[in-house]
Structures are given as structure tokens and as C-alpha cells.
Amino acid sequence: MDNAWTHTTVLLGEAVDALLGTPDASAAPHAAPVYVDATFGRGGHSRLILSRLAADSRLIAFDKDPDALAEAARITDERFSIRHQGFKHLGELPPASVAGVLLDLGISSPQVDNPARGFSFRFEGPLDMRMDTTRGTSVAQWLAQAEVDQITEVIRDYGEERFAGAIAKAIVARRQARGPLDTTTELAQLVADTVKTREPGQNPATRTFQAFRIFINAELEELQQALAGALKVLQPGGRLVVISFHSLEDRIVKQFITQHAKEVYDRRAPFAAPKVMQLKALGRVRPGAAEVAANPRARSAIMRVAERTASTGEPSP
């Protein structure tokens, strides 16, 4: 594994403080608590969690990235284990078995900065963008056969790009004239040639690259599955901590917490007891000025924290 690409964990102390928290005094104590770092990345959060766990506690991590697994192999702590899975598999853990779940969304700096991964328009590299390079379809493979309407929908919905249609048409026209796009710089140049106006300080390809990365990795769908899984596996008093880096992710997290932080009445049975709330929202945290100055990639981060209530039963639909 190449150590040239480093990663600075965002909201490190704040996230671990929120995850471990102060247990709910009304909840029954749990022996040997289990915590989950559902996005191991380069292990910043996991290492700090392990440094603060009791000897009988355990930490289970998830990650799809083979480079992340290689980094995790360097941790020799017997309390730690990692699964080569995306966090959509979180719900496969036993119900009410976990004292805290941490989700640090988005991509890590080593993924962005390694040209071979194809995540960045700043470097020449293969147009890949898969989180798990051992399986699935790359962006280049998808663009080689996708129709204009499909490409437009992805760029519009996942990149919130107002020139989505023009970019999609340019991609297909290029494919028909000279063959499919193969590299990051080819895509970035095509977008720059197509998009004539852009927000100050932002590369014209920013939204398109974001859209393709989210789509090819099914990131938003996996987030929804992970949140539902967290609700299932958290014990009463257990913490859910989610760090997001763009509005699409944060909207899903905010809506999920809001939905499960209120009592639900069945209008068809007005005298029946309501379904009790399953989460209690504990707040939202943004990086401080010092952290953003030291790590500009932290500027868009939002951390939301919720706690599992003492209610039981399956999440409401």
C-alpha cells in the first residue's frame, strides 16, 4: 500500500465523543458493548475509539475499499475486526446488539489523491471511481453504453448540475465520433468545453464527477439502507453519529432522524396508541474555524447525532 496519500479525519474528537457519549441511565446496562465504525477509511475514528474502549468492548468496522482493508490489517488489537462489505450490510448484525454506530460518508483523501482511482479531475487517471475496485462497473464502462437520458438524469439528480443535458449530449456525441471516454482528464475537458459558466472558484467538472461517483457506488441508496440497519441494531441509549459532506447526504440523514424522532398516529385507528418515537435527535455539529483552516476539505462537513430510545419494535415504514 502506498503511503504517499494521507488522510486527515474530519471531526475526529467530536465524532468519537458523540459516539461513546454518556449512557442513558434509564436503559439496562449492556455487558461488553459493541461499537461499529461503518466507514473505516484510513482508520482515524477507529483508532481513537479503540484507545477509549474498555478491555471487554469490541469494535466492528466495515469498508469496501481494498486499500482500507490493507490499512485495517495493521491494527493488531484483538477487540477490532473489519468486514469487506459496504455499510448497507450493517443491518445484518444481530438486532439491538450495538452501543453505537458511526458513519463518516463521502470519500477519503487517499482515494481522491490517488490518480489510479479516477475520483479526481485534477489528475490524469482511468475513469473508474469505484469504491470497491474488485467488483462492479466503472464510470468508463457505464458511459460507454449509457443513453443520453440516463446520463442526464444521473448528472442532474446526483450532481444538481443545471447543464446536465448538454453534458450528457456531449458525452454521447464524443463516444459516437471518437469512441468512449477513458480518462479523468478527457471527461474534465469535455465538461469544461460544454459548461460555459460556473461558480467562482469551482472547477466546471466538480458536479459531474460527484454525480458519477455517487451513482456508480449507489451511495445514497446504500446510506438509506445503512440508516435503517442502524435503527435495527442499536440498543436503547445507543448513539447514531453521521458525518456528511454534501446536501444530498445530509438531507437523507436529517429526514431519517426527523421521521423517527416523533410519535406516529394511525389515522385509520384514531383511538389506538401511537407508534412511539425510536430516535432522539441530539444535535448538529460543524467543524470549527481552526479545523477548516487546517483541513479545507472539512468545510462542508455536517455531523448529526441521535440516540436510540427505549422503545422496541421494527422501524415504521
The string of pLDDT tens digits covering residues 72-110 is 999 999 999 999 999 999 999 999 999 999 999 978 777
Q: What is the pTM of this model?
A: 0.87
Q: Give pLDDT tens digits for 125-173.
A: 999 999 999 999 999 999 999 999 999 999 999 999 999 999 999 999 9
Angle at 236 between CA 232 and CA 240, to 5 degrees: 65
Residue 306 is which amino acid? A
Q: Looking at domain 12-109+219-308, what is its CATH homologous superfamily?
A: Vaccinia Virus protein VP39 (3.40.50.150)
CATH code: domain 132-216 is: 1.10.150.170
DSSP, collapsed to helix, strand or coil, labels residue 316 as coil
Determine the average pLDDT of the residues in 8-30.
77
In Å, how far are 1, 31, 91, 108 from 94, measured between CA atoms? Answer: 33, 15, 8, 29
- CB of 42 closer than 8 Å to CB of 66: no
SS3 assignment, position 141: helix
Which pLDDT value is given to residue 74?
96
DSSP-assigned beta bridge partners for residue 36? 60, 101
Domains of the chain, residue spans: 12-109+219-308, 132-216
Q: Amino acid identity, residue 300? A: S
pLDDT at 31: 65
Q: Work out the pLDDT band at 270, boundaries 50, 70, 90.
A: low
The amino acid occupying position 209 is F
Single-letter code of the amino acid located at 286: R
C-alpha 197/C-alpha 240 separation (Å) is: 40
Give the N- to C-terminal CA distance of the chain in Å, as an integer.
43
